[in-house]
Amino acid sequence: MTETRSVVVEREIGFPPAKVWRALTQPHFIEEWLMKNDFAAEVGRPFALRAQPHGDWNGVIDCKVLEMEPEKRLSYTWNSGNGAQRIASIVTWTLTPSSAGTLLRMEQSGFRAEQVRNFEGARYGWRNFFGKLEELLARTDG
Cα gap 65→62, rounded to integer Å: 11
Express each pLDDT in 15-69 by its tens digit: 999 999 999 999 999 999 999 999 999 999 999 999 988 877 788 999 999 999 9
Express each pLDDT in 67-81 by its tens digit: 999 999 999 999 998
Which residue, among 26, 76, 69, 20, has the nearest Cα to 47 in the 3D structure? Answer: 76
Q: What percent of the chain has pLDDT over 90?
A: 80
Is it the case that residue 93 has pLDDT exceeding 90?
yes
DSSP β-bridge partners for residue 125: none
Amino acid letter for position 120: E
Helix (H, G, I), strand (E, B) or coil at 133: helix
pTM for the structure as a whole: 0.93
Please report which helix (H) or strand (E) contains residue 112, including its range. Answer: strand 101-112
Query: What residues does each domain of the chain span?
Result: 4-139
Q: Contact 4/121 with Cβ under 8 angstroms? A: no
Rg of the chain over CA atoms, in angstroms? 15
Q: Which CATH number fits domain 4-139: 3.60.15.10, 1.20.120.1200, 3.40.50.1380, 3.30.530.20?
A: 3.30.530.20
DSSP β-bridge partners for residue 62: 48, 79
